[in-house]
Structure 1
């Protein structure tokens, strides 16, 4: 029996890698269109799930082996163009299936390709000078580290959010965007009351105008009351609407009577509202709100005749 030569062993390993890559593609491909994070899921889960784009295109590159067709800079150029167009097609198909398009996913697809091209022996052997190879590897590694670093930062931020209770928001933060939706900005606090910060909510004359807190500690079990402290700089009282709902409401038809709704009369100056959590829990018609999975809290107005501003100074449980 003739033993395998080193070249034969390399070819055999390459074929095994190719077959395993094809198997991985078959397993992963359906998840571009089914499963995955819902719009109600948290930012960490969504970010971690997106790493699947990199893994899929690593496997796809190994399976297709574009270095059998092109070499050198032509390999990088034409393979990049092919993956860009393929990834763009996936995003358009997802959009057609009522899933959200994300142009960052196209970059993640390219990262999967570039990661293989930068290290696969047949893709670089004899095609580039050693300094060029290492420059390419450093660039690709930097992009991958930045991608994973973003997820790590989100993980750290979400851990900090989970440790906020009984507070629902950290008013010392300079950027409320990862936590709030709407026309809201952080402003300096009230030194007299020793506040670290407050949030300015700009209210317009649109039919509905306000802000919603989406990223906060969701398990309210074990607490009795919700405290909301606001400041009204106008010389007259104004009415704000407060709505609170759980995950089940977000996944349903968003019916008005399936959440907690209340009108808050806010006089001039600072005022605190103390709301019974049992009342919030029992608000949905025909069921109880899941107080271990509270998902969204909104403050809004309707039908203003002129723009106004209010300040949120505290929001916490007790």
Structure 2
């Protein structure tokens, strides 16, 4: 009889007294092996870095979805700051000659705590003189000890987003040369048409092509509850935004789920506010249901999960 080529995997090495087996499940309950979790030597990622900030869902949208937008922030000391989706060259912050601070939420690099990265940049900008470059140090470096946004901002101030058609706000009130103007024009040509849907929180329409548009909606609910509600609507054939639309899937971003719908590109973005509001009402009703999912709803949920990805 031929010898079997199947080999038994060696047992994980035993941990010495007082140590955790690196291949054992991490004691924190994450489900990951200890060596890939608390035993990795790195700090654990902050899954929801904007949690606790007013407008958390719109913070995520500006970080992940919206090409050109601004919002007004107020620091704990009463100083006004303009938050921008992105700044020239991906710089994290700048101070204009008139003293106005701009903070960019879309960074070229980031650590496992985006709030601390942005807080570090904001703290440096608050100390920088007017018109001077802001040097926050290496943004995104592991072990950064800078402050978090939650420590620097007035958490009672509202968070209201203004979507722009281009990046002209970069140069507001500034005299620029032909080179800067040409760079701005190049950036403007890359802006995807985007509309924030009136009356809804963090719901954005965009049009990547003339034939196709998307409604992308950052949701605040816990993932499992949201998926159950979406599954209930899917099983009842109530998950679309109307004729010619379909639920395309969802992605996770900074700890929240972002469902996406495909819509006809020829319909102006603002016109999707009504259908989205109707869907919101159906979703709220589905979220209030506490009974277990039935067989059709479980199948719908499995289909939803198959179309879900994680950005971060």
* Band of TM-score, shorter chain: under 0.3
Normalised to the residue count of structure 2, the TM-score between the two structures is 0.28
More strand by share: 1
Q: Which protein has the larger Cα radius of gyration, Structure 1 or Structure 2?
A: 1
Higher helix share goes to which structure?
1
Q: TM-score under structure 1 normalisation?
A: 0.27
Bigger relative contact order (CA 8 A; separation at least 6): 1
